[in-house]
Every structure is written in structure tokens, then in C-alpha cells.
Amino acid sequence: MTQSPPPMRELPYINDTSGLFEPLAGQPWAVFLDSGAGRMKQGRYDLIACDPMLTLVTRNGRTEISGADGAVTISREDPLRLLQSLLRQYRIDSRDALPFSGGALGYFSYDLGRSLERLPVIAGDEDRLPEMAIGLYDWALVVDHQERRSRLVGGGFDPRTAASWSRLTECFSSLPAATPRVPFRVTGTVESNMTRQQYADAFHRVQRYIRAGDCYQVNLAQRFSVTTQGDPWLAYRQLRRLNPAPFSAYLNTPAAQLLCSSPERFLQLREGAVETRPIKGTVARGADPAEDRRLRKGLLRSSKDRAENLMIVDLLRNDLGKSSALGSVEAGELFALESYATVHHLVSTIRSRLAPGRDALDLLRGCFPGGSITGAPKLRAMEIIEQLEPDRRGVYCGSIGYIGFDGNMDSNIAIRTMQHIDGRMRFWAGGGLVADSVLETEYQETFHKAKAMLQLLQTEYSPPGSASGGAVPDLKTG
């Protein structure tokens, strides 16, 4: 069925969207896509939604589809094909002024790649997180920080939307009082699943694979974890202050709470125009302005980092080509520098036009998981990652975002992302290894990328009397 432009209500603009999400943060399937606007120049739109009319949760090739009425069905269909067929049942005309007017919101984990490629099963799977958790949302609050406008939009497919329209309008018309919450705190020591020596052994194995011609680049990551108590939403509010990023998110799924402060766009599709912005090339921020300028200039001149970035640009050009109009794929901007709270990055932009007869799910399938966090060639890099990393990645290096009923999409690469499950917080940091990578530089880069998350846990919420103040180069082995 196809709808005309869905209902929309203009609401008072409130610049702190996190305050509007506050009373919803604990609700099942509550989603906050956070652009970091007001704390950095790249952000613009924030999205809030909860109470989906349908949810899809995939584990081990089996997807549970749950309706708001409690009805549950099971499908063993390919999860991306299943989502594609469901979205085609709900169509609305696009609104040029809005990025989203209802549709799918949620995550695709890195391990969803197992449904697309045949991979070995070696790494541990302690969390057993669903490979996909997606809700179909009939309404959303869209906050445009550039135009300073807030709009409540509804798809008109779920009769509950009309019944709750007045309540939703009232809810988002002013900042609510703070919700009582159990204080968040860390109750243990942050641990890594690799010692320095184990990381070094994995690094050298990657170098041997590269010399043998198996691959050109492999993204190698270590996982950090710590026990916690209390409400993770409070931790996210601190994380977004410490490390604002344009593709941040907080998701309260039944299996986990996700705290994401990603700087990287994976795939955007808007009226047939496609964009991806891979990050490759990283250096830590300097301790003072002079050092920061020196490090920034060094990154821009680094032939190693530029080569690493170009490898992934080529990979993504090929991936985009699977669903793009012939001859439309172009690398528009290479090696642009972007600066964040703890690091500088090199970012390239690749654009194309969607081919006739293709849609957002075709595009996602052809590019997933993102090449910037696997390596090249992609399948061989993923096989090596499975051999060398002790644990599955879960949402890390997967993607969080939306696919609208209007066919538009925007999604991130889920880096700088924390998984909170049953009182334990886990997060990862890694980097791309190439032939001329230096062990100590690459190892330290993982701590630079994890700095804000380590600071959050080791300083903001550390147990009384514990050590604090940044990353310890050789953490306890998990």
C-alpha cells in the first residue's frame, strides 16, 4: 500500500534532543539517532522513535517477527530479503524537507555478514547478540538543528498512531522533568581480550598474510569490557558530551543497550543519490594547539595513511557499483581531514546514483559489512579477522540507522560503540593494518580510538579508590 505524505505536526524547537528522549530511554525498542548538533559542526538531524508496530530479531538464520498485538511468526528467509519484502508493503511519498517519515530503525551487526558470506566459525560468542534487530516505526520526532525546527511525523499505517497523536504532541512540546534513574557506576576493572603480546602475535600474522599476497589490509581490533551497575542511558549522556559525533545513537533493544558515538557514515540514499564516507587514517589529538597542528599536518602528508584510505575507496567503489547506475560511481573528495574530541581522521567521499529497479536493501546487501572496517579484499580479510580476534564483534563494525517507508536510508559504521548486556559493558577499537604498519603505532592507535570510552568508564564512573585517567597500555586479559 502507498500513502500520500503522512501526518505531520510542527512542534516547538528544543535544542537538547536528549532531554526529549529522557522519558523514553527505558522503553523497549526506544531509539535515539543523535547527530551531535550543537557540539560539532557536522550534525543536523536527530530522530526519536519508540513503540514500533513490528519488530524483527534475527539469530542464527532464524528471524522472529513480533507484532504490537503480541502475534509472533518465525521466518528462515534471508533477513535482508525479509526486511525488504516487509518494507515494500508500506510505501509513502518522500518529503524533501525531512530525512525520515517512518520506517525501519535499528542495527545490523557485523556478524550479519555470515548470512551474506560463508565464514569460518572460530571466535567466541559470549554475548550471543542478535545479528539484526529492527523495528518498523509508524511515527518519529525529527529535529532539524540547522533550521531549528521540530516535527512529529506519522506514517499512517498503525491505527495506534492516530490514537496517541495528542499524547505524543504534548510529550514533545516541552522538556519533561528528569526521570528518576539508578545511578550508573563501574564495579570492576576494564579488561582487554588481548594482552600486548597477543596483539603483537596477531599483528605479525597479518603481516605474513600480506607478504604472502592473501590480502592488502586487515582491520584488527581488541575488545574491552567491564562490569557495571545502574542505567546505561546516564552513561550515554556523558559519552555524547565527551565525544560528540555526527552518527551517534542510543538504542534500547531487548537484548542490549547500545551507546554509539560514531563519526563515520556508511551509506546514505536520498532520492536515488548514494553517498558513503569511509574513514581510514587516524592520529591522536595533540596536548596543545601547536602539537595538534603538527599531528594534523603529519596525517595529511602521510603516504601510508593515504594509501590505506585509497585501498578502501577502491573497495567501496566496487561495492557501490553492484547497485549503482553504470558509470555513476565517483570518488568526489579524497583524504579530507576531520577532527574529533580525541583523534583526527582522513575521510573520503564516494557518490553514485542508484540503478533502476534497485533499492536501499540491495545497496546495503552489496556493501555490507563496510569495507573500512574489514580490509581488502573483504572476504579474505573477514576470514583472517575470524582467526585472529578472540571474540565476535557483535554490533561493532556493523551498522545503525534507518530505512524509510519512502525508500531513503542513512546509516553509520558502528565504531566507538558500546554494548551493555546484563551489567557488563563491552566495546572495541581497532585499525587497518597494511604492509608498512608499525606494531607499536597500530597498538597505541586502538587506545586513541577508545580514549573517550575508557575515560567515561575509568574517570567518570570509576569505583572509589580505583585508578583513573585514560587508557592503560596493557590492560588485564579478559
Residue partners of 79: CB distance under 8 A and separation at least 6: 56, 58, 63, 112, 115, 131, 132
C-alpha cell at 459: 574517570
Nearest 5°: phi and psi at 8?
A: -150, 140
Question: Which of 131, 264, 442, 445 is flagged as catalytic?
Answer: 264
Tell me, yes or no, if 297 is annotated catalytic: no
How many other C-beta atoms are found inside a 10 Å radius of the C-beta of residue 1? 8
- For residue 287, which amino acid is it? A
For residue 201, give the 3-state DSSP assignment. Answer: helix
Q: Which of 280, 378, 449, 451 is catalytic?
A: 280
Distance CA 63, CA 78 (A): 9
CB 109 within 8 A of CB 57: no
- Rounded CA gap, 189 and 466, in Å? 8
Instruction: For residue 383, indicate whether it is catalytic.
Output: no
Strand 191-192 and strand 476-477: the pairing is: parallel
Residue by residue, DSSP assigns 368-381 as PSPGGGTEESHHHH
What are the E-state strand segments in 7-129? 8-11, 30-34, 45-49, 54-59, 62-67, 72-75, 91-92, 103-108
| Cβ proximity of 265 and 373 under 8 Å | no
Catalytic residues: 264, 280
